[in-house]
Amino acid sequence: MFVLLWQLFVSYLKIGFFGFGGGYTMLALIEYEIVQVNRWLSSAEFIDIIAVAEMTPGPVAINAATFTGYRVAGITGAAVATLGVVFPSLIIALPATRLISCFTHNPRLKKVLAGIHPAVIALMGLAAVVVGKSAIVDLPGALFAAVCFLLLLYTRLHPLLFVGAGAIFGLVYYL
């Protein structure tokens, strides 16, 4: 059991260290580590965990770590995975915040941050593709996703309306 907990911690530690840009950019990394490398979850289970992680309060990466850890190794696994994903932020963000505030007008730092932005967008796009490939399983689902995307893009409707609409769509169409 200790080996499994250690592997869970290290996997989420890597995700925490390399997941620039927040929880959604980490989804591709989480899927790679949890589904492809360690095979702790299937793609369908991963999508279910992400759906629950998005609907519950808190950052999606932390919620996903907690739910994955619980699924893999119970309460202890949930604590270990959550600690793993949060730990890098604690040891990097606290000192970095102090340093960045000292160098906010440094042109080199601005260039570094400008270089990171496209990488963050690419990670978010990859997360959308990874989740979309597993979550959109048929034409009605694809059409529903496309309509939601367009409405989100061109209206100011609250995203929670789409979560509710998705739940209703799932109940009506898939039951």
Cα–Cα distance between 134 and 2 in angstroms, integer?
Answer: 31
For residues 62 and 81, membership in a common domain is answered with yes
pLDDT digits 0-9 by tens, 101-116: 777 788 887 888 888 8
For residues 125 and 168, membership in a common domain is answered with no
89 touches 55 (CB < 8 A) = no
1 touches 73 (CB < 8 A) = yes
Helix, strand, coil percentages (3-state) for the chain, rounded to 5, are: 85, 0, 15
pLDDT for the residue numbered 139: 94
What mean pLDDT comes out for the span 2-25? 86
pLDDT for the residue numbered 21: 66
For residues 38 and 116, membership in a common domain is answered with yes
For residues 83 and 157, membership in a common domain is answered with no
Number of neighbouring beta carbons within 10 Å of residue 115: 9
For residues 63 and 76, membership in a common domain is answered with yes
What mean pLDDT comes out for the span 146-150? 94
Q: Which domain range does residue 154 map to? A: 137-175
Number of separate domains in the chain:
2
For residues 92 and 150, membership in a common domain is answered with no
pTM: 0.66
